[in-house]
């Protein structure tokens, strides 16, 4: 009888041991747990152990319960059965596998979940993951997601999926959202006051409002169809990318912290950068801009404004730009710069590279084409002229003074006079600007001396 009792006890112990072994049908998943450094013991993002502590080639329940941070990325796993035993997990990385479905409902302690680069079509947990703050489902086949299951999200990456809609309302903790490369037609981020980073590029968004996001630092919205942008009261905005959209105007005035602006390949005819004193890099090429006033952009270093319809650029901002490209603006005739020989020489050199022959570059911003086009009381002829230049007045306007500038912005003639006839045979051949001042204002005309 004693032998029988002993056999029964041994059998029960054996059954108990077997009951502790976790069923893991996917051999790649099991091998990853047994043979790879997949466990982060001290939560320092360094994975230094496997799960199989007793080295018996199996995973016991007791071993699974000891794991709080697990990474089985890039292991060709297609089935995560067995993961439900790891109930103490706070961090799980299953990225770069072949998962089409996952069931993580038993992992209620998770705070960080990375399921990126799989073949998932949906995320359908049966529980609400109140502890998850970081969710990465980038590069899957997901067409919809219920984010109410993740009420405390701080960081969300759902890019490169098939999403047509994403509901972010009531996610007040959200700090970063990356939803680029989907099929979104809209993005509602109103009242998400903790948002600091948004990337919604490569979607089909037409209207975008980020107004009053007072903590927003980085906004990337390239390659959409945005024609209506509301960006009022974003005082912390520093990096703004809105290339390849349908914007016709852009007002970023008084964006004191703005450092980088990419707005090329739109249909912009107007851009307001008044008092953007920290703007360092501006890329606004391939638009329809006619004037560009950067006089208050005192930190500007890099300017790309080629392929526009610019007639006038104001670069007089007490800053020497390290790089400027204003080529392919066929009507460009005036650039106002800082009164330093170095900057004047630099901009003249760039103008030569661009093939501009009749362009005025100097520090007298009153010679802007924009101002000269306002007045039509005087006519200068003949043009081109050989030896004499005439001024014809409208309505007998009285002339108070006349100034000639050469193409370098140097004054070559300056008289307070009412004369209308000026000998110019002494002038060298080239392009000149004449500034005519009278009682009601000033008019700028250009002429060529043969």
* pLDDT > 70 in the chain, percent: 91
Out of 343, 373, 403, a domain closes at 373
| Digit-coded pLDDT (tens) for 274-293 | 999 999 999 999 999 999 99
Together in a domain, 280 and 352: yes
Structural domain includes residue 194: no
Among 348, 373, 398, residue at a domain's last position: 373
User: Is 391 a domain residue?
Assistant: yes
Instruction: List the beta bridge partners of residue 389.
Output: 422
Gap between the Cα atoms of 367 and 88, Å rounded: 72
Distance CA 143, CA 166 (A): 10
- pLDDT value at position 343? 86
Q: Phi then psi for 362, rounded to 5 degrees? A: -160, -175
Q: What is the pLDDT of residues 319-363, one digit of tens each?
A: 888 889 999 999 998 999 998 878 888 888 888 889 887 788 888
Give the residues across from 178 on adjacent strands: 157, 199
Mean pLDDT along residues 171-176? 96
Long-range CB contacts for residues 295-303, cutoff 8 Å, separation at least 24: 295/336, 295/365, 297/273
Per the structure, the complete domain to which residue 385 belongs is given by: 378-449
- Compute the C-alpha angle 360/363/365, nearest 5°: 80
Residue 70 counted as domain residue: no
The pLDDT value recorded for residue 416 is 86
Q: What is the mean pLDDT of residues 55-69?
A: 97
Confidence band, pLDDT 50/70/90 cuts, at residue 440? low
Which is higher by pLDDT, 11 or 344?
A: 344
- Name the pLDDT band for 373 (thresholds 50, 70, 90): very low
Q: Residues 152-164: pLDDT tens digits? A: 999 999 999 999 9
pLDDT at 366: 62
Listed residue (377, 395, 396, 393) closest to 441, CA to CA: 377
Same domain, 361 and 418: no
Distance CA 384, CA 366 (A): 23
- Supply the mean pLDDT for the chain: 89
State pLDDT tens for residues 103-125. 999 999 999 999 999 999 998 76
pTM: 0.79
Task: Answer yes or no: are the C-beta atoms of 444 and 371 closer than 8 Å.
Answer: yes
Q: Which of 327, 357, 373 is the last residue of a domain?
A: 373
Number of domains in the chain: 2
* Residue 208: pLDDT band with limits 50, 70, 90: very high
For residues 419 and 63, give the distance between their C-alpha atoms in angstroms, rounded to a whole number: 100
Assess whether 438 and 413 both reside in one domain. yes
Phi then psi for residue 415, to 5 deg, are: -140, 140
């Amino acid at each position: 009888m004693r032998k029988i009792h002993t056999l029964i006890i041994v059998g029960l112990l054996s059954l108990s041991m077997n009951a502790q072994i976790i069923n893991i049908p996917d051999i790649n998943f099991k091998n990853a747990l047994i043979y790879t450094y997949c466990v982060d013991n001290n939560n320092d993002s360094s994975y230094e152990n496997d799960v199989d502590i007793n080295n018996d080639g199996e995973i016991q329940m007791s071993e699974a319960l000891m794991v709080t941070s697990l990474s089985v990325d890039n292991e060709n796993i297609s089935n995560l059965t067995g993961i439900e035993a790891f109930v103490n997990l706070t961090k799980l990385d299953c990225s770069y596998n072949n998962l089409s479905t996952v069931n993580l409902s038993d992992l209620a302690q998770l705070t960080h979940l990375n399921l990126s680069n799989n073949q998932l079509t949906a995320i359908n947990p049966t529980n609400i993951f109140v502890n998850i703050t970081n969710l990465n489902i980038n590069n899957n086949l997901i067409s919809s997601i219920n984010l109410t299951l993740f009420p405390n999200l701080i960081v969300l990456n759902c890019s490169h999926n098939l999403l047509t809609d994403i509901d972010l309302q009531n996610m007040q903790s959200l700090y970063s959202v990356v939803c680029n490369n989907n099929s979104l037609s809209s993005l509602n981020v109103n009242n998400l006051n903790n948002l600091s980073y948004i990337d919604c590029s490569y979607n089909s968004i037409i209207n975008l409002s980020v107004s009053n996001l007072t903590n927003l630092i980085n906004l990337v919205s390239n390659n959409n169809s945005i024609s209506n942008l509301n960006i009022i009261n974003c005082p912390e905005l520093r990096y703004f990318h809105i290339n390849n959209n349908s914007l016709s105007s852009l007002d970023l005035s008084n964006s004191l912290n703005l450092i980088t602006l990419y707005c090329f390949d739109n249909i912009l005819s107007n851009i307001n950068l008044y008092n953007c004193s920290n703007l360092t890099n501006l890329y606004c090429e391939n638009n329809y801009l006619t004037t560009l006033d950067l006089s208050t952009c005192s930190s500007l270093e890099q300017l790309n404004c080629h392929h526009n319809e610019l007639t006038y650029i104001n670069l007089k901002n007490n800053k020497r730009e390290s790089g400027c490209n204003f080529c392919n603006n066929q009507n460009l005739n005036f650039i106002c710069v800082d009164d330093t020989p170095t900057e004047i020489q630099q901009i003249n050199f760039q103008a030569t590279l661009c093939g501009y022959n009749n362009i005025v570059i100097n520090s007298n911003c009153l010679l802007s084409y924009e101002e000269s086009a306002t007045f039509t009381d005087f006519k200068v002829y003949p043009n081109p002229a050989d030896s004499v230049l005439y001024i014809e007045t409208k309505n007998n306007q009285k002339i108070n003074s006349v100034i000639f500038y050469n193409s370098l912005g140097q004054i070559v003639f300056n008289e307070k006079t009412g004369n209308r006839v000026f000998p110019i045979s002494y002038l060298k051949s080239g392009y000149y600007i004449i500034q005519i001042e009278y009682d009601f204002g000033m008019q700028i005309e250009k002429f060529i001396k043969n």
